[in-house]
Amino acid sequence: MTIVLPTTTAGSLPKPSWLAQPETLWSPWKLEGEELVAGKRDALRLAVDDQRQAGIDILGDGEQTRQHFVTTFIEHLDGVDFEKRETVRIRNRYDASVPTVVGAVSRPKPVFVDDARFLRAQTDRPIKWTLPGPMTMIDTLYDGHYRSREKLAWEFARILNEEARELEAAGVDIIQFDEPAFNVFFDEANDWGIATLERAAEGLKAETAVHICYGYGIKANTDWKKTLGSEWRQYEGTFPNLQRSKIDIISLECQNSRVPMDLIELIRGKKVMVGAIDVATGTIETPEQVAETLRHALRFVDADKLYPATNCGMAPLSREVARGKLKALGAGAAIVRKELAA
Ligand code: MET
């Protein structure tokens, strides 16, 4: 049975306070060793349960086993020194202390494959797994070895492809690459960013998605958004080439954002994850507000290609707010589903 308007999230959900300090990015773990391994799994199960209770159709792990959507993956690679830190400007927006690429990068062993297998065992529903995209990875690092953003991106694409193939074999239905950097570096995205993304997705039978947003609801991002003017047309820079790419699903931010919805026309034919939940506010949407965003999106994307979702990850929110937002998403999609069936 195919699900109409299958709901899903951008990926992350807040962690329980016994696992990591809530409402914080890069929040350090509160457990160690075996306890940490078990704690992450328990948190994953709770994240699955929250999604299930909210009526979310395509389930994720809530990114409970990672500290950060980019850094954790990189931590598992050889060639990157986490002790050697440099301050770099991320997404042209805020400074962060990041690790350094000191030699050839490689993936000595799978990063998330066991976690994905664990998620697979929790549910019969379709599951989605998130990975950082090559361009967003290089934007979260200091490169003291390749000294070329493009070269390093191709290396990461190869590594991501290895991981993605194993995730697929573990039973993941959709593999999503997070590329918020596509909303900032348009020329690079078009020159090699989309090509490296396709390399990361090469040969997969699982569906592939790319998530492009305006970031988490943290101050650096909300300040940046204030400078973007009344119409946010960033997607215009990459959508034409993404429309021609092999990626199946494009995930974008729509709720409370100034993105003109008709930009979705530029990716005609693709499936679209429409962000109908704002992650930059603690105010919980009403189901009707979610429904209204989805109805609007339906003017530009066919119903069988619309996936109601969140604008971005909910990791930095409180658990209570995130649960409320998940429920609003599920209920809002249900309203529109009924209208479509009528
Ligand atoms: N998958 C990531 C998340 O949901 C996407 C982050 S993009 C800033 O947190």
In a domain, 94, yes or no: no
In a domain, 192, yes or no: yes
How many helices (H) and strands (E) the chain has is answered by: 11, 9
**Where do we find the tokens 């194993």?**
166
**289 pocket-lining for ligand 1 (C-beta < 6 Å):** no
In the reported structure, the alpha carbon of residue 23 is separated from the centroid of ligand 1 by a whole-number distance in angstroms of 14
Global pTM value: 0.97
In a domain, 193, yes or no: yes
* Tens digits of residue pLDDT in 243-269: 999 999 999 998 988 999 999 999 999
CATH number, domain of 266, equals 3.20.20.210
* Tens digits of residue pLDDT in 215-231: 998 888 999 999 999 99
Mutation to probe ligand 1, out of 91, 136, 178, 249 (largest number of atoms < 8 A from CB): 178
In a domain, 281, yes or no: yes
In a domain, 85, yes or no: no
**305 pocket-lining for ligand 1 (C-beta < 6 Å):** no
In a domain, 258, yes or no: yes
Degrees to nearest 5, angle at CA 327 with 324 and 328: 85
**12 pocket-lining for ligand 1 (C-beta < 6 Å):** yes
124: number of Cβ within 10 Å? 7
In a domain, 299, yes or no: yes
In the reported structure, the alpha carbon of residue 1 is separated from the centroid of ligand 1 by a whole-number distance in angstroms of 29
Of 144, 158, 232, 250, residue with least CA distance to 195: 158
Is residue 332 within 8 Å of residue 295, measured between CB atoms? no
How many domains does one find in the chain?
A: 1
Beta-bridged to residue 85, according to DSSP, are 99
* Tens digits of residue pLDDT in 107-159: 999 999 999 999 999 999 999 999 999 999 999 999 999 999 999 999 999 99
Structural domain that includes position 42: 33-67+110-133+147-341
In a domain, 6, yes or no: no
